Every structure is written in structure tokens, then in C-alpha cells.
Structure 1
Amino acid sequence: MKPTLVILAAGMASRYGSMKQMESFGPSGETILEYSVYDAIQAGFEKVVFIIREEFHQEFRDKFEAKMLPKIEVEYVFQKMTTGTEKYEIPADRVKPFGTAQAILCCQGKVHGPFAVINADDFYGRDAFVKAIDFLKNRANEQTYASIAYKLKNTLSDNGSVSRGEIITNEKGELVGIEERLKIYKKDAGKVVYLDENEHEVEMNPETFVSMNFFCFDKSFIDLCEKEFDEFLSKNISDIKSEFLMPKVADIFIKKGMGVIEVIPTDSVWFGVTYKEDAPVVQEKVKELVQNSIYPNNLWA
């Protein structure tokens, strides 16, 4: 089966204040996700599945299909709060779907082989997609998944704190766990710290590898999400802020001895637009990459 790229694009972008998935950052109006799809095509992906909210379906089609369809197969699935919840009554005051692992459930019937998952609003860089396609074509199976790992220092914002999942590995370089670190920010002299549960600063090594939600899975992961979502709902349906997330399901996969998750470091440059103030920085970095002929002036010309 040909590897598929799944793009999580259903987020509400609450911190950013707008639909950043649709905002232009490239010299010819390209969005960040267009650079991801372009890099994926160059690496060898032949199909992309966008997970979106149904009310933005036509807007997505109008903006992207004409550009991408000649080069890659494009499909859409809709993340709804009710996906996978048929046995349960959702609290009336819940306003958001249940998270990234619920989003994966939407891909049943659309993803038939190994697949990679990324966020729509993160710039991952070409090397990450090259390494992902190599893994998906040669090593992915029901017992072997992968996480593309970025150095912490390359994932920080100058405009506020961020949360990152610190990757913990064993001696074989396999994922043992992902520790969520909240409120990470830069300090003087190149130091990086996060705030623990007592609001105390804890220093982190800037070279530490973190997860940026770039995972590589066998299609069996979708079935695992379905099984674990039912267990999650049985315990958390009444908690309106509860989230069913991919790293949690990946952790269950490891802890239950179902297989291993390789950690694949990448040298790719990561850009993020967590805050509005990040946008001009990202635009400038993209401009530099175009000037250095890493990308053409118009991706789809």
C-alpha cells in the first residue's frame, strides 16, 4: 500500500485567534500546510487526507484542490464531536471534539496502509518527510511505529511559552514515553526552562528531543484508537475538558507490550505559529528558504 499523509486541520486555533491553517506565509500566498504537502510529494507521498471541520470543507477545496490534485490524491474527512461516541451521551456543555486520537478514527475507510500524521499549522521541513517515507515503506508494521523527533531549541517561540512532549527513550533509541512539559520558555544565556506543577522553573537541555505530533503508523493504529476510545469514554465522558490524544494511545501501545515506536531524529528546521506575533517571523524564514532555492517562488507553478 502507498503511504498516506494525514493532516490534522480541524483545530479551532483558539490561542492564535483565527484559522491559521488558511493564512498565507509564502511569497505566492502559500499556507504552511502547502509547504508540508509539497515536501511530502517531493519525498514520495502520493495521497493526503485532510481532517477538517465540515463547515470549512468548501473553503478548503476552493483553496487547495486545484493546486494539489495534479500532483497528489486528495481526500477529506470530518472530525465531529460524535465520532465514535454512539454508545454515550455527550454533555450538553461540551464545545470541542475529543482530540487528535479521535480525529484519527475519522480516517477509517480512507487510509488503507501505513500513514504519517502531522499538524496543519506546523512547518516540518523536507528531511522529516524523507525520513518518514523511508520508515513507512520499509519498516512500518503492526508492531513497529515511529515518532519524528525535533530538538527542543528548534521548536520554541520568542513570543510566549509553549508546551512540548519531551521524548524519553531506552538504550535502543525506542520511545519509552512522552513527558508533557508545560510553559517552556527561553531564559538568558541560552537557557531553556519549564514550570513544574509548583510553578518552579526546571532547566531543560536545549538539545532534548521533543514530539511535534509527527508520527508514522501502520493502519492498525486506527483500530487501536477505536478500541481505546471506548475505554476512554467510559471513564471520561462527563469531563467536558477531557482529551483523547495520539501520544496517549502511543503510550498505551508501548505499555501494553504491543510493539515498539522508533524515535527518528530529524535535522529539519521547525517553524510554528502558536501566537499571532510568530507570523512575521515565519514569513521571513520562509522567504529565506525561497531565496536559498530550497523552495520555488511558487510551489504549484
Structure 2
Amino acid sequence: MKPTLLVLAAGMGSRYGGLKQIDPIGPTNEIIIDYSIHDAIEAGFGKIVFVIRESFEEEFKELFDTKLAGKIEVDYVNQEIGKVPEGSVYNLEREKPWGTGHAILMAKECINEPFAVINADDYYGVEAFTTIVDYLSKSITDEENCMVGYQLGNTISENGSVSRGVCETNDNDHLTTVVERTHIEKLENGIAYKENEEWIQLAPETTVSMNFWGFTPKVFDHLEAQFISFLNTEGDQLKSEFFIPSVVAKVIKDGKTQVKVLKSDAQWFGVTYREDKEKAIKAIGKLIEKGTYPSKLWA
């Protein structure tokens, strides 16, 4: 059975002020997610599931239904504040869903096979998709998972802070812990993250998660159990977030799973900030010159 690709795209509308303003980076108006989908199809994924918001569902489907018709099976799920386990209580004044862990949980009913997770606005590289498909296509147990790990220095934006899951591994390249750092920046004296108004240095070669995870469907059980607990303790907060690295760290600590880190030295790029666009255009241009992609991706 071919693995599925789960694309976290629910935040696209708010980040770009509406889907019509999504920044094209390819020569024929391709956006970053187009290149990830192309790489996924070439690598051997059998289905793509998009996590989106109801507010731009129609617009989003117009963008992707036609270009992907006949190329790969496509499904959609919505991430909304009210989509929580039955009996859960939360602050009704909250305006946004609870982050990446909540987003993945939305796909529980439509994924029954090993699957990978990516952010919609990150570029991961061709080899990363091939590597994770190879892993997920093996006869793995329910509790064997993986992630593509990147070097921190290759994932920093020059235009502001970023969030990254900072990883620690053992000698067998299995993840021992991962901590979501929500404010990492490139400073004059190196890379550091901010915690309690203090800057703490990180080495450029530090392994970080870019939310390129590989899971079996068993992860949905862990997600749901932890999300119920999360809402019990933090559901009343307006800006609390349920991050997937935190979920993974807990199941590892509890001895319930293992996560193989598939390391990549690829240069990440994305459009976290509008100022990142020029760098992304140049990077795609170089890949087209090398023959990695055609100039018209969906010809």
C-alpha cells in the first residue's frame, strides 16, 4: 500500500491575507506547495490529504482539483475550533485552532495507511520525499515512525524569527526528545532561541524538525489522548497551541514509540515572511536550471 501525504495548509489564508495573494515563486505562477506535491507524486505517494479551513475551502479546491486530476487521489479535511473530542471544554472566545497536533488529528477518519506530514509553505527537497517513502513503504510496526531532520543553519530565515523542533538523537539516529522552540533567530553572534527574555545559543548543525514526519495510523490514538488532556489543562487559554513535537516527545518518553531520524543536509526555504519570496524564487530558478523541475511544472 502506498503511503499518503498529509499537507498542513489550514494557516495559509491567515498568513497570506487570502489565497488569491499566495506568492508565486515559479516561472508560471507555481507556489511552494506545488513543488512539494510534484516531489511526492514522483516519489510514490498514493494519496494527498489537505488540512484546510472552511473559510477558503472552495477557493483552495479551485487551485488544486484541476491540476491534480488524474495524477493522484486527493482528499480534504477541515481544521476548525469546534472540531474537538466529544465532551471537551474550551474558551469560546478563541479565534484560531490549536496548531499542528490538532491539524493532524483532523485526518484520523480518512487515513488508514502509513503517512507523511508536511507544512504547505516549506520546501523540503526531492531527496527528502524519496527517503521518507522508502521508510514508510517497509513492513514497519504500528509504533515505528520517522522524521526528516534538517540542520538548523540551513533552515533559518534572514527576515525574522522561526519556530523549529530542536531534536536530540541517540547513536542509532533515533529521536530521544524534541522541543518546540517558537522564537529562533539569526543574531550577529550566531543562532539562538529566546526563552523567558533570555537568548540561548544553538549550533548551526543542530538537528531540527521542519514538521516532515512519517507516522503509522497508531499516532492518531496518541494525538487524541494527549489532545483531550491538553484541553483539560490549557483549553481555557486563548493562544495555547498543541504542537506535534510535544506529542512525539511524550510518547517517546513513555516508551510507546520510536522515531527514526532520516537526516538531510538540504537547504530549506519557505515564505514565512513576504521578504523571503525573492530568495525562494532564486532557489527554484537554480533547480530548474539544473533540470530538477521543468519550467512549467504541471504541463
What secondary structure sits across from 2:223 in the alignment? helix
Mean CA deviation greater in 114-123 or 15-24: 15-24
Cα distance change, pair 134–275 in 1 and its aligned pair in 2 (3 A): same
| Alignment-derived partner of residue 287 in structure 1 | 285
| Alignment-derived partner of residue 275 in structure 1 | 273
Structure 2 matches for 1:153-192, cutoff 5 A? 153-188=153-188, 191-192=190-191
Per-residue displacement from partner, 1:176-222 (whole Å, max 9, x unpaired)?
11133343333447x3233343423x332111111001100001111
* Aligned-residue identity in percent: 43
| Alignment-derived partner of residue 261 in structure 1 | 259
Aligned mates of 1:64, 1:13 — CA distance in 2: 15
Among 221, 224, 233, the alignment partner of 1:235 is 233
What secondary structure sits across from 1:183 in the alignment? strand
Per-residue displacement from partner, 1:214-256 (whole Å, max 9, x unpaired)?
1000011112211221121122221121211211111121011
Between the two proteins, the alignment pairs up a number of residues equal to 299
Per-residue displacement from partner, 1:130-183 (whole Å, max 9, x unpaired)?
111011001543121111101111101111222322111122211111133343
Q: How big is the shift at 1:14?
A: 5.2
**Unaligned 5+ residue runs, structure 1?**
none
**Unaligned 5+ residue runs, structure 2?**
none
Per-residue displacement from partner, 1:28-71 (whole Å, max 9, x unpaired)?
11111110000011111121000000121111111111111221
The answer to whether the Cα contact below 8 Å between 2:175 and 2:261 also exists between their aligned partners in 1 is yes
Cα distance change, pair 13–194 in 1 and its aligned pair in 2 (3 A): farther
Aligned mates of 1:140, 1:126 — CA distance in 2: 23
Aligned mates of 1:248, 1:281 — CA distance in 2: 31
| Alignment-derived partner of residue 208 in structure 2 | 210
Aligned mates of 1:49, 1:16 — CA distance in 2: 21
What secondary structure sits across from 2:10 in the alignment? coil
Cα distance change, pair 187–94 in 1 and its aligned pair in 2 (3 A): closer
The answer to whether the Cα contact below 8 Å between 1:145 and 1:217 also exists between their aligned partners in 2 is yes
Displaced runs of 4 or more, over 6 A: none
Alpha-carbon RMSD across the aligned residues, in angstroms, is 1.9
Per-residue displacement from partner, 1:4-46 (whole Å, max 9, x unpaired)?
0000000156566554994311111111111000001111112
Aligned mates of 1:280, 1:69 — CA distance in 2: 30
| Structure-2-length-normalised TM-score | 0.93
What secondary structure sits across from 1:67 in the alignment? helix
